[in-house]
Amino acid sequence: MTEYETLYVADEAAWRAWLETHGESVAGVRLAIAKKGGAGASATYAEAVNQALCFGWIDGPKASLDADHYLQTFTPRRARSIWSARNRELVDELIASGRMTAPGLREVERAQADGRWDAAYQRGSDRTVPDDLAAALAANPEAAAFFETLTAQNRYAIVFRTTTAKRAETRARRIGQFVDMLAKGETIYPQKRG
């Protein structure tokens, strides 16, 4: 994993100022975010994400730092990275409020031009089983019955991997593989219930 500079900022305005200065010249940063109830000030996670989106950046892995902070990785969005429906909604709000910058708008325009904007994935709690996957499951009662027993993590993984296929052939192949796997009682991840 790439190591990025650890950055402490006092608030959202300081994070935005850092992005204005460094957003087009740095490969990424690990932003220290104050934990709820912890000592110290910082931008909140939501504020940090909003500002990152304004500059064409995206949040990545989180790591622990100390008793008062955790580290949230932020990097410029990669050329082919997929969008979440939630980030698309946030960007729409940021555009409406006039907070988006030219670099952030360029990322939106690229995603709209190449189809990633319209293909944004839903959060796990909002995700529905697509019709083609549902039909394939209906045609295989064993697979359908096992699919109903899956944990949320396994259901999400199957639906996500189905809906993010870029080509129809890839999507059909994945659906076939998932139905075969489910018919055998196999899962992507171990079935942990908590």
Taking only the tens place, the pLDDT of each residue in 19-62 is 999 999 999 999 999 998 878 889 999 999 999 999 999 999 99
Among 26, 28, 33, 21, which Cα is nearest to 3's? 28
pLDDT of residue 176: 96
Strand order in the sheet with 29-34: 5-8, 29-34, 69-76, 57-64
pLDDT surpasses 70 at 194: no
Taking only the tens place, the pLDDT of each residue in 98-153 is 999 999 999 999 999 988 888 777 666 556 898 999 999 999 999 999 999 999 88
pLDDT of residue 1: 57
pTM of the full structure: 0.71
pLDDT of residue 124: 61
User: Beta strand pairing status for 57-64 and 5-8?
Assistant: unpaired
pLDDT surpasses 90 at 172: yes
